[in-house]
Chains A and B, each alone.
Chain A
Amino acid sequence: MKNKIVLFLIAAAFLIALPIFAGQFGAGWVRIMASALLYVLLALGLNIVVGYAGLLDLGFVAFYAVGAYMFALLASPHLSETFEGFKAMFPDGLHTPIWLVVPLAALLAAIAGVMLGTPVLKLRGDYLAIVTLGFGEIIRVFMNNMEHPVNITNGPRGLDRIDSMRIFGFDFGKSLQIGDFTIPSVTLYYYLFLLLVVVSVVICHRLETSRIGRAWMAIREDEIAAKAMGINTRNMKLLAFAMGASFGGVSGSMFAAFQGFVSPESFSLMESVMIVAMIVLGGLGHLPGVILGAVMLAALPEVLRYVAGPLQQITGGRLDAAILRQLLIASAMIIIMLVRPRGLWPSPEHGKAAPNPIKA
């Protein structure tokens, strides 16, 4: 027990000191770490749906988008610039306080999750995967096209000038001055996201050991048996969709505030695939594994951007940073799965039945 506390304190000190140390090498590194934390949040949310409840969701990024657009609409001048009536009501633009907008983003995403979940309750693994994938595409097409006849999302150009996070008048968009020591804005966001990740990990951990969590895992292992044991599989599945989605919604609103700009490009199918890959590569249903997978896939390719220059010169510009990044992610997805099909850090086996004897 004592060891655990010491370990915890060391980890906390390390995570708090990390951006200050990395900041010495430029704000870009801190930015990478902050966005990696956002991916951790997303991965934790998806892990509830896929890892615990066993519902393969390939359209998770839709909920991320719902949260991001929700925040962007309520905290940018777009609505009052587009609609006369809006301007009359809110002459200074709509700067909704985050105590309203973040829960709203979570709620809206949860509703979207239930909306997706309801028609597909009866579907099994792969069918569900393809339907959720389609759902993600539907949301993306809407984001791309909802500028005619009424301009809501501003189409492919996206929404910009989004407010930064403000909590009790404290602005995360400005750097903080303590004496003669300055903490840049991006580091503040890092701490905010870190806090959210810690809270989410606690929530996920509690969920995992709760009745709900065990019901989800029962559904994952054998749905018919779970039903026979009196678990309301319909409600439990919908709850998993809603909870996972609300994580996505919160991360989305954070993303919008952090970037100050959202466009449909950030919510492509590729992002969904990345998040699924993160949790599967890390270790499905196992919190440390999920976090490892998210950090690895989010941060490593970004770090690579800094070393890609020389390689680009060698290959005559054919291998630029973006291509190299994709190449790395793709090979990681294939190689890790071939070497460790259960993920890098899988949950320890707990009295599970032997895997299905597979044909051929």
Chain B
Amino acid sequence: MDIFFQQIINGLVLGSMYALVALGYTMVYGIINLINFAHGEVLMVGALTSWTVVTALADSGLPGWALLLIALPCAIVVCAALNFTIEKLAYRPLRNAPRLAPLITAMGMSLLLQTLAMIIWKPNPKPFPLLLPTDPIDLGGAVISVTQILILVTTGIILLALLWLVNKTKLGRAMRATAENPRVASLMGVRPDMVISATFIIGAALAAIAGLMWALNYGTVQHSMGFLPGLKAFTAAVMGGIGNLTGAMVGGVLLGLIEAIGAGYLGELTGGVLGSHYADIFAFIALILVLTLRPSGLLGERVADRA
């Protein structure tokens, strides 16, 4: 039973990071119908930027939480600027092009960012300093670290704030209108280009936060670290029903839980035939199952029939 609780905690932590990244995918897809393959790389840039800031200030004698508070806005600013530029250079000129064209530029952009990160930060994995106390907190059998609590709480707050933003504010209304029909929205005084840029910036900020969390939780950063989380987060977005914000959150958390529980019990269930190495495929098997049974995702697609 203790393992079960432990895996639930691990799954929730993992899942909340997936959820943050998934939101970026789902918002972009909801508005311009593009799988932004470079989104995972934004997470990577966020993590590496925080690493640079944190290591640069390591000798300053500041406490860990202060470093964290300095690194976070830096990462957010860098990622937001990056994502804004990517959209402007690689996606915007292709809005009226055949649908595969922006997909290819997105993949190219993902590869380009990885390569540039390799040139800037060198390819070797770098240890991320321990900024927060590492003593585990006992929860009646299962343990949780300060970092994990921080991740859960922060994600919860961000998700609520985002729901408020999208459902209650003027910008949120503009986003929903643009997702529904950009041309009609523009007749109503919404500027779709502005809204799309804003979407990319918000998505980048969420990915930057997730990147820093990822680095804190796993303790290493590298140019290739964005790829798999990006892929899984997109999977989560699709599972929840793409274009649907709540769906992305639910999908992310669910995927994290499935993976953690799967990794924890797979060896036992199969008598040691399949080990936890197979954890990575759970995401995809879950995806195939969900899409076969409910082709529009668990919570359904908000943007209805747009082929």
Contacts and interface: CB of A to CB of B under 8 A. Distances in A.
**Do A and B interact?**
yes
Given A280-B104, A323-B119, A137 B278 contact: no
Interface string A128-139: 011101110110
A337 B183 contact: no
B288 A119 contact: yes
B170 interface: no
Interface string B231-263: 100110010001000000000000000000000
Interface string B83-114: 00000001001111111111111011101101
Contacts of B5: none
A310 B90 CA distance: 31
Given A120-B292, A124-B307, A337-B101, A360 B111 contact: no
A123 B82 CA distance: 32
Interface of B is mostly: helix
Interface stretch (B70-78, B207-215, B269-277): B269-277
Interface residues of B, number: 60
Interface string A309-344: 000000000110001001101111110011001100
Contacts of A137: 231, 280-281, 284
A129 to B, nearest CB: 7
Interface in A101-159: 119-120, 122-127, 129-131, 133-135, 137-138, 141-142, 144-145, 148-149
Nearest to B292: A119
A6 B133 CA distance: 77
B105 A131 contact: no
Nearest to B306: A359
A230 interface: no
A358 B97 CA distance: 9
B278 A326 contact: no
Interface in B275-301: 275, 277-278, 280-281, 283-285, 287-288, 291-292, 295
Name the residue among B103, B116, B178, B235 with the largest chain A CB count within 10 angstroms: B103
A298 to B, nearest CB: 16
A130 B238 contact: yes
Interface string A246-289: 00000000000000000000000110010011001100100000
B288 A337 contact: no
B104 A126 contact: no
16 contacts: A120-B288, A126-B29, A131-B288, A134-B284, A141-B278, A141-B280, A145-B277, A149-B273, A323-B119, A326-B111, A326-B114, A326-B118, A334-B105, A341-B94, A342-B97, A360-B182
Given A56-B100, A334-B112, 16 more contacts: A127-B295, A129-B103, A141-B278, A141-B280, A142-B281, A145-B277, A273-B107, A273-B111, A280-B104, A326-B111, A327-B112, A334-B105, A337-B101, A342-B97, A342-B98, A359-B183
